[in-house]
Amino acid sequence: DGGITQSPKYLFRKEGQNVTLSCEQNLNHDAMYWYRQDPGQGLRLIYYSQIVNDFQKGDIAEGYSVSREKKESFPLTVTSAQKNPTAFYLCASNVGPGQGAQPQHFGDGTRLSIL
Amino acid sequence: GQQLNQSPQSMFIQEGEDVSMNCTSSSIFNTWLWYKQDPGEGPVLLIALYKAGELTSNGRLTAQFGITRKDSFLNISASIPSDVGIYFCAGRDTGNQFYFGTGTSLTVIP
């Protein structure tokens, strides 16, 4: 089945450690996005990529990094510079710009906690 | 980036009642979307709206794209316990950017 796979489901980070969240899609979508969700809040955009080998900062990019070397993969690294990383992280994708108005589809999320 | 104004923030209703929630924006969108999110899961798309004035149904759900392109509403008729969850609206702009509401938490009392 086509979809977006995020892994792991749960992740724990020690102080000073970098961790990487995986996001893979087999929908042949050009655009991919990372959001952070805190309790009782909406989704805040961390990074997005409209095409392979290109990505842009979102509203809360500080302390995070991404890469987009392959169309189907958009990993997110939470660095030690992110002082409050505990949150639910959601990856999404859509067909991309200039391809008609199409919705975003989401993965099942990764919950990151501090040890 | 902007967050859309979504209301109400939470609702507690009896099973069988109808539900209405809405979303407003300061910007014009070319697409309005409604999602449902269960605890610990990713949002699932319920309805997508692509034209101003469009009214679309999906089972007991009905949503409309406001004529000004700055608002949308979602109605759920004859609520059932499995409707429990958080409902989000989202708007898409011409740059393929998506903006989300803060969510409406729905509790259905059997």
Encode pLDDT of B1-53 as tens digits: 677 999 999 999 999 999 999 999 999 999 999 999 998 899 999 999 999 99
Residue A39 binned pLDDT confidence (cut-offs 50, 70, 90): confident
Structure token digits, residue A84: 């409050």
Q: What is the dihedral of CA B60, B66, B72, A89, to 10 degrees?
A: 120
What is the distance between the alpha carbons of residues A66 and B18, in angstroms, rounded to a whole number? 43
What is the distance between the alpha carbons of residues B76 and A15, in angstroms, rounded to a whole number? 45
Residues of B in contact with A50 (CB under 8 A): 96
Nearest-Å Rg of the Cα atoms of chain A is 13
- The predicted structure's pLDDT at residue A25: 97
CB of A11 less than 8 A from some CB of B: no
CB of A109 less than 8 A from some CB of B: yes
Residues of B in contact with A104 (CB under 8 A): 33, 45, 90, 92, 98
Residue A40: pLDDT over 90: no
Q: Across the interface, do A42 and B31 touch by the CB < 8 Å criterion?
A: no
Which residue in B1, B48, B95 is closest to A45 by CB distance?
B1
Mean of the per-residue pLDDT values for chain B? 94
- The predicted structure's pLDDT at residue B24: 96
Any idea what the Cα angle at residue A47 is, between residues A11 and A22, rounded to 5°? 35
What is the distance between the alpha carbons of residues A25 and A92, in angstroms, rounded to a whole number? 9
Cis upstream peptide for B8 (omega within 30°): yes
Residue B63 binned pLDDT confidence (cut-offs 50, 70, 90): very high
Strand partners, B55: B64
User: E strands within chain A?
Assistant: 4-7, 10-13, 19-25, 31-37, 43-51, 54-57, 64-66, 76-78, 87-94, 105-106, 110-114
Dihedral over Cα of A27, B33, B56, B68: its sign = negative
Residue A2: pLDDT over 70: no
What is the distance between the alpha carbons of residues B32 and B45, in angstroms, rounded to a whole number? 11
Residue showing tokens 């998506």 = B98
- The predicted structure's pLDDT at residue A16: 86
Q: Which residue of B has its CA nearest to A9?
A: B40
